[in-house]
Chain A
Amino acid sequence: AQTVTQSQPEMSVQEAETVTLSCTYDTSESNYYLFWYKQPPSRQMILVIRQEAYKQQNATENRFSVNFQKAAKSFSLKISDSQLGDTAMYFCAFFSTGNQFYFGTGTSLTVIP
């Protein structure tokens, strides 16, 4: 069975600083997709960044980038130049070829002014 682990329930970062959220997963599949979703307080989840497992190049999206280590089954999210609007719950998710999403338990990130 697929599992997704986020070992940091809560994190904080000073505005304009950089923070890294960790995620590890377990799977026997070779082709899959990984996602980071953001859920601001009282708002719906939105996609932050997406990585296809067969691509070696790490995905980047403006201030957001990932460090994808396929052999280690690690998928961390780096947020550069943190902004107050980045305060949210961040979920790491694994999408299997069986068309199912597996979410981690989330990391609550607070950006401190």
Chain B
Amino acid sequence: EPEVTQTPSHQVTQMGQEVILRCVPISNHLYFYWYRQILGQKVEFLVSFYNNEISEKSEIFDDQFSVERPDGSNFTLKIRSTKLEDSAMYFCASSEIGQGDEQYFGPGTRLTVT
């Protein structure tokens, strides 16, 4: 069965550094999402992406964050100048038809900012 994959599984970075989290959505899916989950807290929506542009973003997704689909398979989340509070689990998800459709989640990348 097709799966969403994410790399790396764990990323450790120093405060102020830039990180890029990578995701490979399911191949025929058109909608892509990023979420984060700070340890012990709820999963929070960051951004949705369709047709090579952001369709929705939350208040969390400020200028520090950016997303890109650099080729036909990868979907990336870039965090510039990381802060301690960016430490979290970051989940990528994809869906076939968008609104209301089942989202398939990746296993997540654990980001630790020191």
Contacts and interface: CB of A to CB of B under 8 A. Distances in A.
B43 A99 contact: no
B33 A45 contact: no
Contacts of A4: 42
Given A101-B35, A106-B42, A52 B100 contact: yes
B102 A102 contact: no
A99 B98 CA distance: 8
A105 B56 CA distance: 22
Interface string A17-44: 0000000000000001101010000011
A100 B42 contact: no
Interface stretch (B10-18, B66-74, B80-88, B103-111): B103-111
B56 A98 contact: yes
Contacts of B103: 47, 101
Interface residues of A, number: 25
Contacts of B91: 44-45
Contacts of A95: 99-100
Contact of A99 (B4, B35, B99, B107): B99
Nearest to A44: B107
Interface residue tally on B, bucketed by range: 20 to 34
A103 B44 contact: yes
A105 B41 contact: yes
Interface string B22-34: 0000000000010
B114 interface: no
A95 B93 CA distance: 14
A43 B107 contact: yes
Contacts of A100: 45, 48, 56, 58
B44 to A, nearest CB: 7
Contacts of B55: 99
Nearest to A1: B59
Interface of B: 3-4, 33, 35, 41-45, 48, 55-56, 58, 91, 98-100, 102-108
7 contacts: A35-B102, A44-B91, A44-B107, A99-B56, A100-B45, A101-B45, A102-B45
